Amino acid sequence: MENGNYRERFDAVISGTLASAVRIIADDPALFFCGSAMLLHQKKAAAVRQRYEREGLLVPPVIIASITSRCNLACAGCYMHGRHDAPQSEMTPETLAGVVGEAARLGVSVIVLAGGEPLVRKDEILALAGAHPEVLFPVFSNGLLIDAAAAAELAACKNIVPLVSFEGFCDETDARRGSGVYDRLLAVLGRLREHRVFFGCSVTVSRENFSRVTDEAFVRSLHARGARVFTFVEYVPMEPGTENLVLTPCQKNDLPNVCTELSGKFPALFISFPGDEDQYGGCLAAGRGFVHISPSGNLEPCPAAPYSDENLAAVPLETALRSRLLSRIRERPEILTETSGGCALRANRILMDEIAVQGNRKTH
């Protein structure tokens, strides 16, 4: 098993982020109580993960679950479309509930729900969050399914954090997501704020919009509408011909620093992804810090690398985490070092293909 010091650092980052969130919501007793409980649980969950690691099982603190490929929008550059997956059945509600339950038992602290548009399975999300109040469920959503009733339901589950997608101001957001979407999203933020939901915004950061979305004016406009979390996700060129949108080396290096500066000016969380990977010895994919689950249940190293040798509809999560494919990736530090393109495994997909072929692994 590889040196685990980087995992201790990642655990500290997760705990620090939760502690910052608790401070931000200190004036809301219900949110404060829930946030404090999740912060305490994170420390207990880290101990559970450490116990499994001593037994030879590497459990990541974070799981990213793309629970559906369905969506009510058709955004340009969508990573789900860019995966070019063959049509497959989604995990059943029973399979999904079983996976989440096992993840909680193994010590997973954060389960990120994505899609497609994850809120097409809203009732299941609410049930999962209700069954596991100790787990944090960030939900990356285009926001358009959050009507007044949905906002009230989300408000009742304090461990769900909706992250509504923006590309910038009106011109940038509508250009990618459709005419009129920006104004509709502002109305969504109003509903979430009215119901005292702890929510945030997710921004895909490209070479073109970097200066605009990291500007204080943009952050101030959404913070004033109640956003308390800002996630800046580096653009990954899933479609050929879009490599020119990848952040420049200078922008990539600046992004974590920008987040630090903004956190000193606004009472909000600012998170860049993948962030400063050097402190962790490379990308945290493949179970080092997180894994990805596809809509059909394939356990994959990350959303941008659709390689799998285990499916959670067929085997338990604990078995799947012992995947030979994930282990082989972790044994190759060069494949976890980014050369270009926002995602190490995507940038090094020639090596990924070799590993998959050598192991007679399934690729999509």
AA letter at 194: E
Q: Is residue 215 part of a domain?
A: yes
Q: What confidence tens digit (pLDDT) does each residue in 67-83 have?
A: 999 987 766 655 555 55
DSSP 144: T
Do the Cβ atoms of 197 and 154 come closer than 8 Å?
yes
Do the Cβ atoms of 19 and 196 come closer than 8 Å?
no
Q: In the prediction, which pLDDT does 361 show?
A: 45
Supply the CATH number for residue 194's domain. Answer: 3.80.30.10
Q: Is residue 264 part of a domain?
A: yes
Q: In the prediction, which pLDDT does 344 show?
A: 79
Q: Is residue 20 part of a domain?
A: no
Q: Could you give the number of structural domains in the chain?
A: 1
pLDDT, greater one: 192 or 5: 192
Q: Is residue 29 part of a domain?
A: no
Q: Is residue 180 part of a domain?
A: yes
At 362, is the pLDDT very low, low, confident or very high (cuts 50, 70, 90)?
very low
Q: What confidence tens digit (pLDDT) does each residue in 115-165 have?
A: 999 999 999 999 999 999 999 999 999 999 999 999 999 999 999 999 999
Give yes or no for a cis peptide into 16 (omega within 30° of 0): no
For tokens 């995602």, the residue is 343
Assigned token pair, 7: 């995992």
Q: Is residue 55 part of a domain?
A: no
At 278, is the pLDDT very low, low, confident or very high (cuts 50, 70, 90)?
confident
* Bridge partners for 139 per DSSP: 113, 162
Q: Is residue 175 part of a domain?
A: yes
- State the residue range of the domain holding 261: 151-273
> Cα–Cα distance between 42 and 332 in angstroms, integer?
29
Q: Is residue 311 part of a domain?
A: no
